[in-house]
């Protein structure tokens, strides 16, 4: 990554967007954990599949909050922005599922704790993609 790209991310404005993103991410993540827990404990769904479904629910809500508050002022149309957001979420989903699978299969970490751990990495990647490519705020 060139110095110019890194410098564009290291500003107060982007820091404020990251803070707002963290607030929204935390809220929808807690909701997603609840969905994950319900799917595993009550629907007896496989943990990895349930994690994927809960991830998609949380990310759809995240887009709505993101467009209105995190990246306010986006000029991209609602449908095109949502489509790009879902592509970026797909990247996050791949990171999430891969790291989640690895933690569940190679460590004794509880499935909910593993989901929390991988969310940090996937969340930062998706924030960067959305800030730079989707909402073009960086």
Q: Express each pLDDT in 41-56 by its tens digit.
A: 999 999 989 988 897 8
pLDDT on residue 2: 63
10 Å Cβ neighbour count for 10? 8
Which whole number is the average pLDDT over 103-131? Answer: 91
Q: Are the C-beta atoms of residues 37 and 112 closer than 8 Å to each other? A: yes
d(CA 12, CA 18): 10
**Hey, what are 118's tokens?**
């991988």
Which of 88, 107, 85, 94 is closest to 48 using CA atoms? 94
Q: Express each pLDDT in 9-38 by its tens digit.
A: 889 989 999 999 999 989 998 999 899 999
Buried b (16+ CB within 10 A) or exposed e, 49-74: ebbbebbebbbeebbebbbeebbeeb
The single residue listed with the structure tokens 């940090």 is 120
């Amino acid at each position: 990554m060139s110095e110019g790209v890194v410098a564009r991310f290291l500003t107060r404005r982007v820091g404020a967007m990251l803070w707002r993103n963290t607030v929204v991410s935390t809220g929808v993540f807690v909701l997603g954990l609840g969905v994950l827990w319900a799917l595993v404990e009550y629907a007896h769904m496989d943990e990895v599949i349930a994690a994927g479904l809960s991830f998609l629910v949380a990310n759809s809500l995240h887009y709505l909050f993101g467009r209105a508050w995190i990246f306010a002022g986006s000029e991209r149309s609602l449908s095109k922005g949502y489509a790009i957001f879902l592509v970026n979420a797909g990247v996050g989903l791949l990171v999430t599922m891969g790291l989640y699978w690895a933690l569940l299969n190679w460590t004794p970490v509880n499935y909910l704790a593993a989901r929390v751990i991988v969310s940090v990495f996937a969340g930062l990647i998706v924030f960067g993609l959305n800030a730079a490519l989707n909402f073009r705020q960086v």
